[in-house]
Amino acid sequence: MKLDVLDIQGQKTGRQIDLPDEIFGVESNDHIVYLAAKAAQANRRQGTHATKERNAVKGSTKKIKKQKGTGTARAGDIKNPLFRGGGKIFGPSPRSYHQKVNKKAKKIARNSVLSGKIKAEKVVALEDFSFDKPSTQEFRSVIKNLELDGRRTLVLLSDYDQNLYLSSRNLPKCKVLNIKDAGILDFMESDTIVLSEGCEKHFNQLV
């Protein structure tokens, strides 16, 4: 599958990149996409939520009143969950939300999403470029030239470029990533994917 390469002015350069059909030309498997996306979202969770149960609350363990004769319910120490300031009953505790997805399923999900993007004409090939220093204004002008201003745009680079990353950081709907760091949620959450020239060589290395 061929894709025309544009320059930073938004004009065709006359060059094309060859996208592998085994990645960009497959039938979508919606169920595996769902499983992979759900696992990726779950794996983002820290799982550090916690509350103090009865054994963790600071306080005396002395029985606060006698067992009988008060006319009210029996009570033990002040850490009773029924009292204000007492322990939490069955409260959340730190846990891992990790969900495992097989590598083969991850690849099928990724290929399904990328194939859907290419069919919807939401993939743009851009010549390899860089800035001498970080410049949000220059980066935004490139996005405007590609007619992507205001859209959620994922720019994939074939190598790390600190200047491009810093230039895009103040644009809320733009994300610049090395192709090796992109995951299925990055592909799904973007309206348009911009492929820097040379990225096509690294798709087979993705997990």
At 54-76, the pLDDT tens digits run 999 999 999 999 999 999 999 99
Q: How many residues are given for the chain?
A: 207
Number of domains within the chain: 2
Burial of 177 (0-12, 13-18, 19+ CB in 10 A): middle
If asked whether residues 120 and 40 sit together in one domain, one would say yes
Domain boundary among 72, 96, 120: 96
Pairing state of beta strands 153-157 and 192-196? parallel
pLDDT band of 205, cuts 50, 70, 90: low
The CATH number linked to 111 is 3.40.1370.10
Task: Determine contact, residues 42/97, Cβ cutoff 8 Å.
Answer: yes
If asked whether residues 61 and 144 sit together in one domain, one would say no
If asked whether residues 79 and 161 sit together in one domain, one would say no
If asked whether residues 176 and 124 sit together in one domain, one would say yes
pTM (predicted TM-score) = 0.80
Quote the domain boundaries for residue 73: 46-96
Structure tokens at 138: 């220059």
If asked whether residues 169 and 84 sit together in one domain, one would say no
If asked whether residues 18 and 53 sit together in one domain, one would say no
Mean pLDDT over 175-180 rounds to: 91
Domain boundary among 62, 77, 96: 96
If asked whether residues 129 and 191 sit together in one domain, one would say yes
DSSP state of 183: -
If asked whether residues 40 and 50 sit together in one domain, one would say no
If asked whether residues 188 and 137 sit together in one domain, one would say yes
If asked whether residues 123 and 139 sit together in one domain, one would say yes
If asked whether residues 179 and 199 sit together in one domain, one would say yes
Residue 5 confidence (pLDDT) above 80: yes
